Amino acid sequence: SGKESPVSANESIASHFALVTAYEDIKKRLKETEKENAVLRRRVRALEERIQRTDREEEKNVVG
Amino acid sequence: SGKESPVSANESIASHFALVTAYEDIKKRLKETEKENAVLRRRVRALEERIQRTDREEEKNVVG
Amino acid sequence: VVSSPNSTVQASSFAHVIFQNVAKMYLPNAPLECHYTLTPYIKPHSKDWVGIFKVGWSTARDYYTFLWSPVPDNYVEGTSVNRVLIFQGYYLPNDDGEFYQFCYVSHLGEIRGASTPFQFRAASPTDDLLM
Amino acid sequence: VVSSPNSTVQASSFAHVIFQNVAKMYLPNAPLECHYTLTPYIKPHSKDWVGIFKVGWSTARDYYTFLWSPVPDNYVEGTSVNRVLIFQGYYLPNDDGEFYQFCYVSHLGEIRGASTPFQFRAASPTDDLLM
């Protein structure tokens, strides 16, 4: 950001190309990570529900 | 990708600036999502261990 | 085709318009509010416009859709002004998994501001991206 | 400063060198293998080099570190050649949370290839990024 030296059109196109390459990959990774995240959230919810059910059953056993 | 018309230096710099803005934000989101992911993985592991413990205890109760 | 080499002066001008409260997701086919601030560094013109661009665009002609940015009523030069434009759902991209961004383009075709990216995503009960 | 406007010819030349098997993470302070393919479209020169750049770099002078890319022994023009360079750990970035990429730069300073991005991250037992 401190660099204010003029950059040639060709260099500017080259750095843009390189950034596009990087951006496309980071975008892909973000989408993959978001998908994994959704899967993990569902898994957490399912496990939590299972534990709640078990807890309720145990309570019944103790009370009954 | 089909567009092969020459782009001026200024336009090239402008589109680069816009891409940098987008890239920086997507990068930030990837990092945040990866962190969430790590938290979720730990949560899944903790819940799974808890369920395994409960299952073992129940088995003992049944057997004992 | 090649323009003057004053890229450093140009560079700072890319942030003369600041987009505010840009969401990560918008509903397709629903009106989209675009909030932005004209900083004192820009002199608005009635033929300035705000475009929605797919991230990675090459030229100002690559816009997906656009709206004119009217000069504010009672505009005083050198002041900061908040503006809102509403894109109608009909003209917006579908839920296509792509990232888009707003850009403010002057009547001379210069980019004066670019937003963070957003997607168009249909609401889904299985989507809960909040922790 | 402004170069000739043959940007379309130039554009395709950015993929004349293809980086292979680029990881998402590398250990800092450990030797880093960089694999790449010289396609038949590039005529390698002994003063060509491969640099590690922080993503978002502006000019070829912004490299973090670099190695010369020697012309392969028995090189036959117009053929495809796989190459490996090994960056020594001492010269690599630390675990700084930034993204870097390899770029192949010709002896004339032209970018002829760019890799996908990677980070330097110290190994940690709590890190399990695999599902």
DSSP C34-77: EEEEE-TT----TT-EEEEEETT--SGGG-SEEEE-PPPTT--T
Query: What is the model's pLDDT at position D91?
Result: 93
Does D1 contact C2 at a Cβ distance shorter than 8 Å? no
Domain boundaries, chain B: 30-64
Provide the shortest C-alpha distance from residue A15 to chain D (in Å).
Answer: 6
Q: By the CB < 8 Å criterion, does C63 face chain B?
A: no
Over the stretch D66-96, which tens digit does the pLDDT of each residue have?
999 999 888 998 899 999 999 999 999 999 9
**Residues in A touching D53 (Cβ below 8 Å):** 18
Q: Which CATH class is domain C7-120?
A: mainly beta
Assign C123 a pLDDT band (cuts: 50, 70, 90): confident
H or E element, residue A41: helix A9-63
Ranges of residues in chain A with a pLDDT under 50 are 1-5
State the burial class of residue D44 (Cβ atoms within 10 Å of its Cβ: 0-12, 13-18, 19+).
buried
CA distances from C116 to C45, C71, D9 (A): 24, 24, 31
Mean pLDDT (whole number) for C26-54: 96
State the pLDDT confidence band at C102, using cuts at 50, 70 and 90.
very high
- The two structure tokens encoding residue B45: 């592991």
pLDDT at D5: 41
Residue with tokens 């168009």: C120
Residue C20 reports pLDDT greater than 60: yes
Vertex D38 angle, CA D35 and D41, to 5° = 160
Residues of chain D with pLDDT under 50: 1-11, 129-131
- Residue D9 pLDDT: 42
Interface partners of D (3+ CB pairs, < 8 Å)? A, B, C
B14 touches chain C (CB under 8 A): yes
The pLDDT of residue C109 is above 70:
yes
Helix axis angle for A9-63 and B9-63, nearest 10°, is: 20
Domain limits of chain C? 7-120
- Please indicate whether, in this complex, the C-beta atoms of A9 and D58 are within 8 angstroms of each other: no
Q: How does residue B2 score in pLDDT terms, banded at 50, 70 and 90? A: very low
Residues of B in contact with D7 (CB under 8 A): 6-7, 12
Compare all CA atoms of chain B with the CA of A41 and give the residue at the minimum distance. B40
Cβ distance of A6 and D1 shorter than 8 Å: yes
Q: What mean pLDDT is predicted for residues C5-32? A: 80
Three-state DSSP string of B7-37: CCHHHHHHHHHHHHHHHHHHHHHHHHHHHHH
The average pLDDT across C83-93 equals: 95
Question: Which tokens go with B37?
Answer: 């992911």
Question: Rg of chain D's alpha carbons, rounded to an integer?
Answer: 16
Q: Does the CB of B51 have a partner CB in chain A at under 8 Å?
A: yes
Cβ-Cβ contacts under 8 Å, C59 against chain B: 5, 7, 11, 15
Has residue B53 got a pLDDT over 60?
yes
- Cβ distance A12 to C7 less than 8 Å, yes or no, reads yes
C-D contacts at Cβ under 8 angstroms: 7
Query: What is the pLDDT, as a whole number, of residue C12?
Result: 65
